[in-house]
Structure formats: C-alpha cells, structure tokens
Amino acid sequence: MFYNYLFILLLVCFYKEIMQEIKEYNLVLITENQNSIEKANKFALLICNELNLNKNFKISQYHKFSNSYKIEINGNFVNESSFITQSIKLTNKICSPWIIEYDEEINEIDLIFNKTEFSKYRNNNFNILKWANFKI
C-alpha cells in the first residue's frame, strides 16, 4: 500500500514539473485582400508549414476590414525557460518589425505586428498579412 501512495506522489510531482515546462501560445493573423475562405486557408497552411506548426487552426471572416479573414493558431512551447527567445524567433519567420511587450510579474509576452510601408516579409506570399498578435 505504501508503494502505491509513493508511486502516485511521484506521478503528481512529475506531472507538475512537465506542466511547468509547457507554455501555451495563441497566434492571431488578420489578412487583407482575401476574397475567399479558400485563399485564407491556403495562407494559414503556408504559415503553419513555414513555422512547423500543427495544422489545427480556426478561420473566420474579419468584418472590420473588407475581404479580410482572422486566422487563430494555438500551440505550445515545451521549454518554458526559453519561451521569449522562441516567441521572437517564431514570429520573425513571418515578418518584422514586431512590437514586444513583456510582463515579468506574470511571465507573459505579447508581440504585435502592424503592416506599414516599413514592413518586411520573409516570404512574398506573406504580404497579405495586415495585423498579427502572438501572445503567451
């Protein structure tokens, strides 16, 4: 009986340690000049392939701008200690510059991209990106 309790205690400790190392993120992309959901889906797949992410995303029409779609991609980083660096490297594969806000108290980072005349896209097919937000 003692070994059963010890085993359960070890499992709980191990689970807590694993969960502390996982940081979930949300990437929201707003497109422009996309007159069909098929085009937005193609763009989402292109982004997922470039960032080596799972292809589990949500697409909805974004009514604030005409011919725009909102793409939401959720994922996680396994190594929490380097999530800031991972966040910057991941978003930099899409475009730049990003505005970075880091909250040390709650250990979260928020990156925002707004398309301007100075925006640089890593792939010409990404230039339909109007706005993006990456948040942990």
Return all residues near 132 (Cβ < 8 A) that are at least 6 apart: 27, 28, 29, 30, 91, 94, 95, 111, 112, 113
Place of tokens 């991941």: 90
* pLDDT tens across the length of the chain (136 residues): 544 544 454 444 454 444 456 889 999 999 999 999 999 999 999 999 999 988 889 999 999 999 999 999 998 887 666 888 899 999 999 999 999 999 989 888 999 999 999 999 999 999 999 999 999 9
Q: In the prediction, which pLDDT does 16 show? A: 47
Quick check: helix, strand or coil at residue 39?
helix
CA distance 100 to 66: 27
Q: In the prediction, which pLDDT does 8 show? A: 53
Question: What pTM was estimated for this model as a whole?
Answer: 0.82
Tally of CB atoms within 10 A around 16: 9
Place of tokens 């910057």: 88
Return all residues near 75 (Cβ < 8 A) that are at least 6 apart: 24, 25, 27, 53, 54
Place of tokens 């806000």: 101
Q: In the prediction, which pLDDT does 109 show? A: 93
Closest C-alpha among 44, 23, 18 to residue 87: 23
Quick check: helix, strand or coil at residue 18?
helix
